[in-house]
């Protein structure tokens, strides 16, 4: 029996502080953080955004309620599938990741992508 070792990706935890909470956790702010819109997030929570490049592997975990074509947020209503897909396409066009995993833990979460992504 033989095995080969591969190099594990490096994960950096900068802080365990909460960056956004309560009324700051909205669909609009989520998309701004996701797309790296630092200027738009200035003065809101920590102001941190995902500052990734075409060389980065991005993992996002989201957990809340969902229904067909939407996921819920504590404030600001719902994020619609079409808005999420538009943001992901923009990130792809801007080469903001090498690989991305978006893990959504919510009812009907698969409907956020159904028939909306190019083949």
Q: Which residues are catalytic?
A: 65, 107
Q: Enter the tokens of residue 66.
A: 């969902």
Q: Which of 60, 70, 69 is nearest to 96 (CA)?
A: 60
Residue 107: CB atoms within 10 A of its CB come to 13
Burial label, 23 (beta-carbon count in 10 A; 0-12, 13-18, 19+): exposed
Alpha helices by DSSP H, listed for the chain, are: 27-34, 38-41, 81-93
Q: Enter the tokens of residue 16.
A: 């365990």
């Amino acid at each position: 029996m033989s095995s080969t070792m591969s190099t594990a990706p490096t994960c950096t935890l900068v802080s365990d502080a909460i960056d956004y909470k309560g009324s700051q956790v909205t669909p609009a702010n989520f998309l701004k953080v996701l797309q790296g819109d630092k200027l738009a997030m200035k003065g809101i929570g920590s102001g941190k955004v995902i500052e990734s490049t075409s060389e980065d592997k991005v993992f996002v975990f989201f957990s809340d309620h969902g229904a067909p074509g939407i996921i819920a947020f504590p404030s600001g209503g719902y994020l619609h599938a079409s808005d999420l897909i538009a943001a992901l396409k923009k990130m792809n066009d801007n080469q903001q990741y090498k690989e991305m995993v978006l893990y959504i833990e919510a009812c009907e979460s698969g409907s956020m992508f159904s028939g909306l992504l190019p083949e």
